[in-house]
Structure 1
């Protein structure tokens, strides 16, 4: 690939390969850098679903989320870093044909209750004009529940019920 002139470089949307590269670099640099990349990769309106690890159902239930303005409180990555000081991330992201990114990462660290977190996540992103418009996330639901419970249910009310603390977990 040859270098673009300044006008092209400033006006063209990020390619799927460039976005996959930013995700890879963010994961390699650590959890907070990954979270910074993730915060910039979604379209203003996108579809998402969270599923357990394993085969994807033929017609998973997606919810549409609207990205809102950043709130005044700490973001989930900040909360996680405060409560899990040894939080680490390892994984990768790869571009696939058809403006798709697939990847996986594993979060490890010690939860405040002493539990050794090992949360493996797989994801698939569909990209249009440099931004993610559809996002499928798969992980172990029980381990994810331990994680979000330790963080104080930070996704509550944000539109993805499977990302919230389950009632039976609170008991």
Structure 2
């Protein structure tokens, strides 16, 4: 998803508006433990401000993850706006150095999505998860496992005093 900034950099335009449809790559989706993603809609503009360029972009789409407790599918609406300064040299983390007239928007988009994902993805806040013994989904059924399960490493000690 490359953006040609040559007309803005050469002074032929003061701003460049853009709009893209972008499909998240499988490699990136795997890196954030996602299952699936819709096509993301990306709109924005680049404006020339003296010797710097102001990048503004907004994105929206859906991503599917597995619940961290019960592994059921969870769909998240993912949307945000990003503002960055494009400069000739890297001075600050919020500034993106321009190395050529072509700007790749994918790293900017992927970084922002990653930073804005929740730490824990749950199907609902009171998700009970799955039983570690039998694998039953505790949201849908009651587990029949014994409550008095003994740690197998200590099981030999249970008959010590009998």
Q: Structure 2-normalised TM-score?
A: 0.37
TM-score by length of 1: 0.36
Q: Which structure shows the higher strand fraction? A: 2
Larger RCO, structure (CA 8 Å, separation 6 or more): 1
Larger Rg: 2
Larger helix share, 1 or 2 = 1
